[in-house]
């Protein structure tokens, strides 16, 4: 199932080229504080699932092409992200940060990005310092479905609600990661959340990213140093993971600068295609 948020914070299921509006199934639906609908929806999903199937038969629909898609998730309790989690990316960052020892997720653990940095498909990434190098990092993101603490890797995939494409935009430099990666618009996600049942093996997905017509990143999640299950194991030993929490799994090699006027396109196999534009802040 592909879940979107669109127009004025409606929640929809995408089938083919059509969106079915299932907003009123979201518990506590109200137009006054709509942004966290998807988190509530995810938390209640096991109970809602049979009702979704029923609702689709009579739900109002519209053409996907006519909808304005939004970030499919807003206001998770946290966004966690993996620092270096591909060997080839570790090597290329060694060239950027010469003289520094670059560690991986094994040494650094995971870091936080602010929820306020989330944005959606078709949005514009605003670069705060055009004179500094700002990079795209195309990544597979996973969304937690059930409260998780001290989860072992063997069971970790049971806690995944679904997957989405993530761009972890990054200013290069010496500041803390949360600062360099935490600007508004620096975490585009989407175009939808694909539920986990459609992706039984998240560790063998092609990942490609283009800037304009140039293919910059071309890898596969099979090269992850910590695979999806192990990232969840690691993160959940440190903090409780809640429904709706987003974890970005790290970027492969090929990161490079983005500039105002660029269009960035990320395709993760079986998950979808996420496109954003770049402008000055
Ligand atoms: Mn990253």
Q: Is the pLDDT of residue 172 over 80?
A: yes
Query: What is the number of alpha carbons within 13 Å of residue 105 lying toward its C-beta?
Result: 26
What does the block give as tokens for 45? 């999903």
Ligand 1 centre to CA of 208 (Å) is 14
Question: Could you report the per-residue pLDDT of 205-224, keeping only the tens digit for each?
Answer: 999 999 999 999 999 999 99
In this prediction, residue 32 carries a pLDDT of 77
In this prediction, residue 64 carries a pLDDT of 98
Ligand 1 centre to CA of 215 (Å) is 18
Ligand 1 centre to CA of 181 (Å) is 8
If pLDDT is split at 50, 70 and 90, which confidence band does 99 have? confident
Question: Could you report the per-residue pLDDT of 254-273, keeping only the tens digit for each?
Answer: 999 999 999 999 999 999 99
In this prediction, residue 36 carries a pLDDT of 82
Handedness of CA 212, 214, 220, 226 (dihedral sign): negative
**CA distances in angstroms from 96 to 16, 100, 178, 250, 260, listed in the order given:** 42, 9, 19, 17, 21
CA separation for the pair 208, 171 (Å, rounded)? 21
Ligand 1 centre to CA of 251 (Å) is 5
Question: Could you report the per-residue pLDDT of 39-56, keeping only the tens digit for each?
Answer: 999 999 999 999 999 999
Ligand 1 centre to CA of 168 (Å) is 5
Mean pLDDT over 16-26 rounds to 93
Ligand 1 centre to CA of 255 (Å) is 10
CA separation for the pair 255, 169 (Å, rounded)? 10
If pLDDT is split at 50, 70 and 90, which confidence band does 119 have? very high
Ligand 1 centre to CA of 154 (Å) is 25
Query: Across all residues in the chain, what is the average pLDDT?
Result: 95
Q: Is the N-terminal amide bond of 191 cis, ω within 30° of 0? A: yes
Residue 257: CB atoms within 10 Å: 15
Ligand 1 centre to CA of 134 (Å) is 12
As beta bridge partners, residue 273 has 267
Q: Give pTM, 2 decimals.
A: 0.96
| 3-state SS record for 75-88 | CCCCEEECCCCEHH
Query: What is the number of alpha carbons within 13 Å of residue 234 lying toward its C-beta?
Result: 22
Ligand 1 centre to CA of 261 (Å) is 22
Q: Which of 225, 221, 207 is nearest to 103 (CA)?
A: 225
Q: Residues with beta carbon < 5 A to ion ligand 1?
A: 137, 168, 251
Q: Is the pLDDT of residue 29 over 80?
A: no
Ligand 1 centre to CA of 248 (Å) is 7
Ligand 1 centre to CA of 109 (Å) is 13
CA separation for the pair 277, 126 (Å, rounded)? 9
CB 278 within 8 A of CB 128: no
Residue 207: DSSP 8-state: E
Mean pLDDT over 139-168 rounds to 98
In this prediction, residue 91 carries a pLDDT of 85
- Secondary structure E strands in 115-159: 118-119, 124-127, 134-136, 138-144
In this prediction, residue 97 carries a pLDDT of 84
- By percentage, how much of the chain surpasses pLDDT 90? 88
């Amino acid at each position: 199932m592909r879940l979107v948020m669109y127009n004025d914070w409606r929640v929809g299921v995408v089938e083919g080229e059509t969106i079915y509006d299932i907003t009123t199934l979201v518990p506590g639906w109200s137009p006054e504080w709509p942004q966290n609908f998807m988190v509530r929806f995810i938390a209640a999903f096991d109970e809602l699932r049979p009702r979704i199937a029923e609702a689709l038969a009579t739900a109002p629909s519209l053409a996907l092409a006519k909808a304005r898609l939004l970030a499919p998730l807003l206001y998770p309790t946290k966004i966690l992200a993996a620092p270096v989690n591909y060997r080839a990316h570790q090597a290329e960052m060694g060239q950027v940060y010469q003289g520094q020892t670059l560690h991986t997720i094994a040494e650094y653990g995971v870091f936080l990005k602010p929820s306020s940095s989330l944005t959606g498909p078709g949005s514009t990434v605003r670069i705060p310092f055009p004179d500094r190098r700002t990079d795209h990092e195309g990544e597979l993101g996973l969304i937690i479905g059930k409260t998780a603490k001290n989860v072992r890797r063997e069971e970790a995939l049971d806690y995944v609600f679904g997957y989405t494409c993530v761009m972890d935009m990054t200013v290069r430099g010496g500041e803390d990661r949360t600062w360099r990666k935490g600007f508004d618009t620096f975490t585009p996600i989407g175009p939808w959340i694909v539920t986990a049942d459609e992706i039984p093996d998240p560790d063998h997905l092609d990942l490609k990213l283009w800037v304009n017509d140039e293919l910059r990143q071309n890898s596969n999640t099979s090269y992850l140093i910590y695979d999806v299950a192990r990232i969840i194991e690691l993160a959940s030993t440190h903090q409780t993971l809640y429904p709706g929490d987003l974890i970005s799994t790290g970027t492969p090699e090929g990161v490079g600068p983005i500039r105002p006027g660029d269009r960035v396109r990320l395709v993760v196999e079986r998950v979808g295609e996420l496109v954003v534009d770049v402008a000055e802040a």
